Amino acid sequence: MISMTAFWHDSFLAHEPPAGEFEGEWTGRLAFREPHPDRPERVKNVRHIVRTELPQVAWETAPRATDEQLHRVHTPEHVTSFESFCADGGGRMTAETGANEASYRAARYAAGAAAAAVDHALEHGLEDVPYACVRPSGHHAQPEQVDGFCFFNNAAVAAEQALADEAVERVAVLDWDVHHGNGTQEVFYDRDDVLTISLHNDHWSWDPEAHPQTGDTDERGVGQGTGYNLNVPLPPGTGNRGYADAFDRLVEPVVEQYDPDLLVVSAGGDAGTVDPLGRNVVTKEGFETFGARARTMAEEFASSRLALVQEGGYQVSHLGYAMLGTLEGIIGIDSDVADPFAWLDEDADSARRRVDEIVDHYSEWWDLDGT
């Protein structure tokens, strides 16, 4: 059985985006200002269910990210401007992204947790897998701008932390959050030392300024990075079987051929059934297979090094079950906790047809048999 160390900091609970109409601004048309979907209860529930059901997981206090770690990914101006914004009390930064006076500190510790997870992975391998149980998320944050509830790109900080080690030449970042990991894509778009793979809903851009990337297959990298950015946009209704098809035919063959020295996973839970910001129907059982596949890929293709970084998931109850399943799959146990929300069937046929198209597209760069 594999053990696990989770990195946590209480500052994650103090970050509070402005309330409004779900993620949007308050218009005054409704009677109730709804809390923003990125609520502290998300990670409270994750931490509680993991502590209750998985005593194998040890908890450590996350360190604060250093300037060096942040500046490998973000411009100094971006870091200081966000710090100043929060020091002035915060507010709404884009249509859906906001902060309060505590958000800068929380984001800094979240990035530090991701970097610490990588250091732990390089030291312990699969004997003790690290999990950065963080908030706010990071995979939408770009070098010079916030986006999609994200301020600093935790997964990119993690990848850069690994590459700072002389023993690491290549890192693979696998992102199964239901939203395109556009910020991570942007950071490494012209590089071949980081392979980025994003499995996500086919949602395209939600903001041409803050989120200009579409997440479609034609965004495949530029220059030395051409072919090293893989987007796998999946149709609404994709569930356990559709994701299994994408793993079998795209993710695992490409990671094997890339042969990274470390696998970093952006582990969102919002591909889960009933998530209000997703349209896919992955169950706890499906997330268990995600975790098991990540562990196997790390063992077989990534020098037995795996680091897990928390991303999204906005149904505050189901996220706990999704992450419990993910960690069970990595550790290799079954807690016998069932998914109380697994009531929607999936559209496996549409997912299969879409994966067929994506396999054909990426066969120009990777050896994919298309079966």
Give the residue ranges of DSSP H helices in the chain.
41-53, 67-71, 76-87, 103-124, 154-163, 182-188, 240-246, 252-258, 284-301, 316-331, 348-362
Instruction: Spell out the domains of the chain, with CATH numbers in brackets.
Output: 3-17+30-362 (3.40.800.20)
Positive or negative: CA dihedral 135, 5, 287, 283? negative
* Alpha carbon distance 265, 129 (integer Å): 12
Mean pLDDT of the chain: 97
Q: How far apart are CA 347 and CA 240, in angstroms?
A: 10
In the prediction, which pLDDT does 127 show? 97
Distance CA 55, CA 66 (A): 31
Comparing C-alpha atoms, which of 270, 288, 287 is closest to residue 279? 270
- For residues 141-146, give the mean pLDDT: 98
Catalytic residue status for 140? yes
Question: Tokens 């993690």 belong to which residue?
Answer: 158
Among 267, 275, 279, 278, residue whose Cα is nearest residue 329: 267
Residue range 122-138: mean pLDDT, rounded:
98
Identity of residue 7: F
Q: Span 220-229, mean pLDDT?
A: 98
Read off the tokens for 40. Answer: 């502290």
Q: Is 271 in a helix, a strand, or coil?
A: coil
Predicted confidence (pLDDT) at residue 370 exceeds the cutoff of 60:
no
CA atoms within 13 A on the CB side of 278: 31
CB 217 within 8 A of CB 361: yes
Stated pTM of the model: 0.98
How do beta strands 91-92 and 229-234 pair? unpaired
Is residue 290 a contact partner of residue 329, using CB atoms and an 8 Å limit? yes
Q: What percent of the chain has pLDDT over 90?
A: 98
Residue 197 has pLDDT above 60, yes or no: yes
Which DSSP symbol is given to 26?
P
> pLDDT at residue 150 above 70?
yes
CB distance 174 to 293 below 8 Å? no
**pLDDT band, very low/low/confident/very high, at 369 (cuts 50, 70, 90):** confident
Cα 244 to Cα 246: distance, rounded to the nearest angstrom: 5
**Per residue in 39-76, pLDDT tens?**
999 999 999 999 999 999 999 999 999 999 999 999 99
| The predicted structure's pLDDT at residue 334 | 84
Report the candidate in 256, 331, 339 with the shortest Cα–Cα distance to residue 301: 256
Rounded CA-CA distance 229/305 in Å is: 21
Helix (H, G, I), strand (E, B) or coil at 334: coil
CA neighbor of 318 nearest in space, from 336, 344, 339, 287 = 339
Residue 357 has pLDDT above 90, yes or no: yes
Please identify which of the residues 36, 140, 179, 180 carries the catalytic annotation: 140
Question: Which neighbouring-strand residues pair with 272?
Answer: 282
Instruction: Kindly state the tokens that stand for 226.
Output: 């051409």
Q: What per-residue confidence (pLDDT) applies to 293?
A: 98
Tokens 């209750």 correspond to 52
